[in-house]
Amino acid sequence: MDPKTGQLEGLSFEFNLCEAVATWEQVRNSTTILTREFIDALPNGWEDYAWRRINKGVLLNRCENKTLCLEKLSLVLPKTPPYVPKQFDRCAVIGNSGDLIQTKFGKEIDDYDVVIRENGAPIENYTEFVGKKGSFRLLNRGSAKALDKVIELDETRKEVLIIKTTIHDIMNKMIQEVPINNPVYLMLGASFGSAAKGTGLKALEFALSICESVDMYGFTVDPGYKEWTRYFSESRQGHTPLHGRAYYQMMECLGLVKIHSPMRADPSRVVHSVPSHSTITAARIASEKLLRI
């Protein structure tokens, strides 16, 4: 059931393939980390955009005092992009769904060059299922306000923390006083309209902006679900997961990701009929032409 509308989710969904191809190809060739370079390059970037990335930024009078805005962003605002497209080879994005504890994916996950996790998902006590490697962690607002707890989830204390919302004074204080030595950045994300919702999609977006190939674990939702399951806690209400699952399957068919799931009849199934990079590029060009008509 959709928690916002109270209506049951459908079992079939329609997506605009032209829009999806064009958007994701752009993501694969862009940075998804907010930088000062990006803000400075925007027409009126500080007045029209920067304050939106600061909690209660509306009180800053559209960054009339640029120095104050810069001070609030300084701890999470690199001058230039810290990562570039296809900087890493094989990457795994680990979701939080309950099916992760049905298969011991741990060693398989640790073999990736980069492992991206989400919010407050624990590693300790679950390593045989979710691995122990942590390279990046995408955070929503709630998790970002507990940065001091989040850094303890990775025993190496080396995870790069990426906040998908705004910077908050509480976060700045923790970064300085705890102190938090992990790199902390703000996500500069694309708009996906009717795509999947939540931190999972943003984690995939980040992965596709820095990785040659992206594999997904822990994104499965059973047909006929009633609650959103997590591998480390009680079930709870969530955001229209069947819609998200359909969108991720579309992404797999476009050759953007590979989904690993114990819920499939053949969990090790490989989608062979995916388009090549050259085909995707040609499709992007054609899609952009169609979208302009």
Question: What pLDDT digit, counting tens, does each position of 265-275 carry?
Answer: 666 666 666 66
> Given this model, what pLDDT does residue 243 score?
76
> Given this model, what pLDDT does residue 7 score?
61
> Given this model, what pLDDT does residue 273 score?
60
The model's pLDDT over 158-190, given as tens digits with 9 standing for 90+, comes to: 999 999 999 999 999 999 999 999 999 999 976
**pLDDT band per the 50, 70, 90 thresholds, residue 191:** low
pLDDT of 133 strictly over 90? yes
- Which pTM was predicted? 0.86
Domain ranges of the chain: 21-32+84-292
Residue 139's DSSP bridge partners are 163
> Given this model, what pLDDT does residue 112 score?
98
pLDDT of 9 strictly over 60? no
Instruction: Quote the mean pLDDT of the chain.
Output: 86
pLDDT of 211 strictly over 90? yes
**For range 36-42, the mean pLDDT:** 96
> Given this model, what pLDDT does residue 23 score?
85
Contacts of residue 252, defined as CB under 8 A and 6 or more positions apart, other chains included, come to 258, 259, 271, 274
Closest C-alpha among 269, 232, 263, 268 to residue 245? 263
21-32+84-292 CATH, one of 3.90.400, 3.10.450, 3.90.1480, 1.10.3470 = 3.90.1480
DSSP state of 293: -
Closest C-alpha among 68, 2, 61, 16 to residue 193? 16
Task: Give CA angle at 264 (104, 257), nearest 5°.
Answer: 85
pLDDT of 238 strictly over 80? no
Residue 91's DSSP bridge partners are 114, 214
Phi, psi of 206 (to 5 degrees): -60, -45
Report d(CA 238, CA 2) in Å as an integer.
8
pLDDT of 27 strictly over 70? yes
DSSP state of 268: T
**pLDDT band per the 50, 70, 90 thresholds, residue 89:** very high
Q: Is 253 within 8 Å of 271 (Cβ atoms)? A: yes
